[in-house]
Amino acid sequence: MPELPEVETIKRGLQPFLEQKTIQGLQVNRQDLRIPIPDNTRQMIQGQYVQFIKRHGKYLCVELANGQTIVWHMGMSGSVRVYHDDKEPYEPQKHDHIVMTTDAPATIVFNDPRRFGMFYTHPTEQIQNTPPFSQMGCDALQSTAKTLYPQLQNKKSPIKTVLLDQAIVAGLGNIYVCEALYKARISPFKPANALSFSEVETLSKHIDEILAEAIQKGGSSLKDHRMTDGSMGYFQNFFGVYGKKGVACPHCTCDPEQTGGIKQVKQAGRSTFYCSEKQK
């Protein structure tokens, strides 16, 4: 599932072709996404000038001049492709649910094979007071030890599970939580309220670093994520633990023959990867 770095990569790829541009056409090929695309969406969007594209957690918010915002979520498998020159004209693909044209000029296509994505409009003024945004914690890039530590004090659940809760920190998902805990050398099983302030500081620093590095590398392309020009992100080549069951983690002093290397367990239904030698 696209997490903060992948969605930020998509936002940055969209900006030159959508921000401060006019949406000239909107074609909806399939309405039955996780929330069905409302019937009036085309009427709300077509002909509108785009003021800003913002990202909140894993959501994109496209603010229009008419006071409406497009709420856009990639779901499990969504990707966005921008076609903007004659060298590579748009050719429809299976699962292209939304095709938008702008006066950049550009054709912007939302493809989502599993259809867990979302695309609908909502009045901009009410966005922050309406779910999902009203229930969302601080964006992971804005989160600091000072904002995070107090939120962990009444949480007895494992830190791994708590960090996945979008009401605590918005934008983190399974990959970046595993990687940040590994870098911070904190066990994914440690109860959230057992972390000291200095451990939360270390964790927060590594969350920032890992997100910044992943954004710089275009995100992680495991299955579906692509940058808006169709190329793959390559942060998956820099994972320390994610998807690496049984091998030694980078620079690990432990012998995987004896320790079994990086471990994979299920926590709250999601795979956790960790090094039991480094993470305590």
Q: Which is nearer to Zn ion, 67 or 246 (CB)?
A: 246
In the complex, what is the shortest distance from the CB of residue 142 to Zn ion, in angstroms, rounded to a whole number? Answer: 31
Nearest C-alpha neighbor of 211 from the set 270, 112, 258, 143: 143
For residue 213, the number of C-alpha atoms closer than 13 Å in the C-beta half-sphere is: 15
Build a one-symbol-per-residue string for 192-231: x at contacts with Zn ion by CB under 5 A, - elsewhere. Answer: ----------------------------------------
In the complex, what is the shortest distance from the CB of residue 97 to Zn ion, in angstroms, rounded to a whole number? Answer: 42
Q: Which is nearer to Zn ion, 148 or 186 (CB)?
A: 186
The partner residues of 192 in beta bridges, in order of sequence, read none
226 flagged as catalytic: no
- Which position among 74, 100, 162, 275 is part of the footprint of Zn ion (CB under 5 A)? 275
Kindly state the tokens that stand for 192.
């959230």
Tell whether residue 276 is a contact of Zn ion (CB under 5 A): no
In the complex, what is the shortest distance from the CB of residue 173 to Zn ion, in angstroms, rounded to a whole number? Answer: 22
Q: Which is nearer to Zn ion, 104 or 252 (CB)?
A: 252
- How many residues make up the chain in this entry? 280
Q: How far apart are CA 123 and CA 69, in angstroms?
A: 6
Binding segment for Zn ion among 89-97, 213-221, 236-244, 271-279 (CB under 5 A)? 271-279
Q: Which is nearer to Zn ion, 18 or 275 (CB)?
A: 275
In the complex, what is the shortest distance from the CB of residue 238 to Zn ion, in angstroms, rounded to a whole number? Answer: 16
The partner residues of 49 in beta bridges, in order of sequence, read 22
Q: How far is CA 32 from CA 70, 118, 224, in A?
A: 17, 9, 20
Q: Which is nearer to Zn ion, 104 or 254 (CB)?
A: 254
Of the candidates 185, 256, 270, 277, the residue annotated as catalytic is 270
Number of residues that bind Zn ion (CB under 5 A): 5
2 flagged as catalytic: yes
Kindly state the tokens that stand for 157.
């659940």
Of the candidates 21, 58, 183, 226, the residue annotated as catalytic is 58
89 flagged as catalytic: no
Q: How far is CA 73 from CA 8, 20, 37, in A?
A: 12, 21, 12
In the complex, what is the shortest distance from the CB of residue 178 to Zn ion, in angstroms, rounded to a whole number? Answer: 13
270 flagged as catalytic: yes
The partner residues of 270 in beta bridges, in order of sequence, read 267
Site for Zn ion in 224-253 (CB under 5 A): 249, 252
Is the bond preceding 89 in cis, omega lying within 30 degrees of 0? no
Nearest C-alpha neighbor of 234 from the set 5, 13, 1: 5
Q: Which residues lie closer than 8 Å to 100 by C-beta, 6 or more apart?
A: 18, 23, 25, 26, 27, 45, 107, 108, 109, 110
Would you name the residues annotated as active-site residues?
2-3, 58, 270
Which residues form the interface with Zn ion (CB under 5 A)?
A: 249, 252, 275, 277-278
